[in-house]
Copies of this chain bind each other. A is one copy, B any other.
């Protein structure tokens, strides 16, 4: 006989504990900047070993919920810092987090050979076709950005408008359909001025200032999967990030 499968049914203890602690923090049971019980206390309270406790705490520290001071204790982060690092998110998640209603107009989905500069970034040989998605992004119904994505897929891997409408997010399609999980990305930001076409699509004047974002996204095996260029309306978009060291 082989082993019973039951994958994922057993949630790791450290994760369960982290969830409990997170609950107490978010419920306000432990005030910001106040210490949580010491690791030895948590050991007896929850009847788990100290390494497990520490693993939970380290997880919550990376999430930005806690911080440690050697010799003093472990403390709850002030609320402003509890949002965690700037995370790799899709446009939809990003906008939702800002309290805006995301939307999009898909202008085209096609197989095409992109400029060489894009192929180099995607580490593909010259002449390779990729999937190109051209969209207008909406915030609360009004244009907020122009987005062009180049996705490194084989000819047999196809994305349809139906996929996009069903999943709602490109990243969900990549994960569920192709097992490509975006885990890391390089992003640059600079200012640009709207040309006539961009101005028209964004419903602003020609020459208006824009925020230009270029992002190269890597999957779980650290291969580039997507290069995306977004032109944001300067008057409707601010970029937010959290830095740590």
| A8 in the interface (beta carbon within 8 A) | no
Q: Is A241 an interface residue (CB 8 A)?
A: yes
* A240 and B187 within 8 A (CB): yes
Inter-chain contact A245/B190, CB cutoff 8 Å: no
Chain B residues lying within 8 Å of A222, measured Cβ to Cβ, are 33, 67, 75, 77-78, 81
Structural contact, A189 and B243, CB atoms closer than 8 A: no
Q: What is the predominant secondary structure among interface residues of chain A facing chain B?
A: strand
> Known contacts A89-B245, A243-B184, A244-B183; is A191 also within 8 Å of B211 by CB?
yes
CA distance A80 to B215 in the complex (A): 13
With A209-B209, A238-B189 in contact, do A81 and B184 touch (Cβ < 8 Å)?
yes
Contact A211–B184 (Cβ < 8 Å) = no
Task: Let me know if B209 and A189 touch, CB within 8 A.
Answer: no
For chain A, residues 218 to 245, give those with C-beta under 8 angstroms from any C-beta of chain B: 218, 220-222, 234, 237-245
Instruction: Write out the residue numbers on chain B whose beta carbons fall within 8 Å of the beta carbon of A182.
Output: 245
Q: Name the residue on B nearest A220 (C-beta).
A: B69
Known: A69-B220, A81-B218. A87 touches B244 (CB 8 A): yes
For residue A88, CB closer than 8 A to chain B, the reply is: yes
Q: How large is the interface on A (under 10, 10 to 19, 20 to 34, 35 or more residues)?
A: 35 or more
Number of copies of chain A assembled together: 2
The B-contacting residues of A in range 170-211, CB under 8 angstroms, are 182-193, 209-211
B244 touching A241, Cβ below 8 Å = no
Chain B residue at smallest Cβ distance from A240: B188
> What B residues does A167 contact at CB under 8 A?
none
Q: Does A3 contact B (CB under 8 A)?
A: no
| Bound: A71/B188 CA distance, A | 34
| A232 nearest in chain B by CB position | B191
Interface on A for B, CB 8 Å cutoff? Answer: 33, 51, 67, 69, 75, 77-78, 80-81, 85-89, 182-193, 209-211, 215, 218, 220-222, 234, 237-245
Nearest 3 interchain pairs by C-beta: A191-B234, A88-B243, A88-B245
A and B contact pairs by CB, cutoff 8 A, 12 listed: A33-B221, A81-B218, A87-B243, A88-B245, A183-B245, A184-B244, A188-B240, A188-B241, A190-B238, A191-B210, A191-B234, A239-B239
